[in-house]
Amino acid sequence: MKNKNIVLIGGNSGIGQAVKSKLEDLGAQVFAYSRSGEAGRVLDVTADFESLEELPEVIDGLVYCPGTINLKPFHRFTIEDFRKDYEVNLLGAVKVLQACLKGLKKSSSASVILYSTVAVKVGLGFHASISSAKGAVEGLAKSLAAEWAPNKIRVNVVAPSLTDTPLASQLLSNEDKKEASNKRHPLGRYGRPEDIAAATLYLLSDESSWMTGQVLHLDGGMSSIRGM
């Protein structure tokens, strides 16, 4: 990763912050954007924009971290709830990808990483809005992986289960909730930002150079096996 230019959207907390730290430790040049600007440059992915300030001419990697967790019974969701989840998870990614495409094409081996959720594959109650939005993200990634393959741009998705981030703080707000979450995962624990960051670094690196259009299920076994 040394001297590679990586654009990181949402690098000020949680998974994005862990990815940023690992990239910098490996010598990458990280161009971080967040709504608060704490990670570097200011960007509100829900706003209208066609370009990003201070982008490098060549972009070797792009990681889009913004997400939402909006859980409630389906009958309580409004159209505006769905719209907000799509705006952050899907449409924000679309705008960033379009803004970065020129730079990605100039790299000899660019890699794009988007994030989904275990709930797309498993089907979980109260997840109708976020599962719909993240399902759209997975569809976008596979389509772009096919379209951009001739340009040697790889596009992959990481689909975690519950991970200990500020976004998930209400779901892990006490020991009972933490223990219940641990028991739902065959490996006996919920995720850590470092778990997701490690997978992201692999997908950004040349070690995954023959991998595109894939959804990496990093979920403690939740999407594929049952615990004892």
pLDDT, residue 115, reads 98
Q: What are the tens digits of pLDDT across the range 173-201?
A: 899 999 999 999 999 999 999 999 999 99
Count how many domains the chain has: 1
pLDDT, residue 228, reads 67
How large is the average pLDDT for residues 70-99?
98
**Nearest residue to 49 (alpha-carbon basis) of 8, 114, 3, 94:** 94
Place of tokens 């859980």: 71
- Given a contact cutoff of 8 angstroms between Cβ atoms, the answer to whether 46 and 85 are in contact is no
Is the CB of residue 116 less than 8 Å from the CB of residue 142? no
Residues 161/118, Cβ–Cβ less than 8 Å:
yes
User: Cβ contacts of residue 174 below 8 Å, gap of 6+?
Assistant: none
What's the confidence (pLDDT) of residue 142? 98
- Residues belonging to the active site: 116, 134
Q: What is the pLDDT of residue 167?
A: 86
Q: Are 31 and 39 in contact (CB under 8 A)?
A: no
What are the tokens at 47?
A: 């706003």
**Alpha helices per DSSP H over 50-157:** 79-86, 92-105, 118-122, 128-148
The answer to whether residue 88 scores a pLDDT higher than 90 is yes
Residue found by looking up tokens 């990458």 in the block: 28
Q: Which tokens in the block code for residue 208?
A: 């995954």
Average pLDDT over residues 21-28: 96
* CATH number assigned to the domain comprising residue 184: 3.40.50.720
Q: Is 227 domain-assigned? A: no
Q: Are 148 and 155 in contact (CB under 8 A)?
A: yes
Give the pLDDT score at 38: 83
Whether 225 maps to a domain, the answer reads no
Beta bridge partners of 31: 7
Q: Does residue 98 form part of some domain?
A: yes
Domain with 212, as residue range(s), is: 5-218
The β-bridge partners of 217 are 159
Coil/strand/helix, residue 199: helix
pLDDT digits (tens, 9 = 90+) for 109-154: 999 999 999 999 999 999 999 999 999 999 999 999 999 999 999 9
In a domain, 226, yes or no: no
Q: Specify the pLDDT at position 39.
A: 78
pLDDT at 108: 94
pLDDT of residue 60: 98
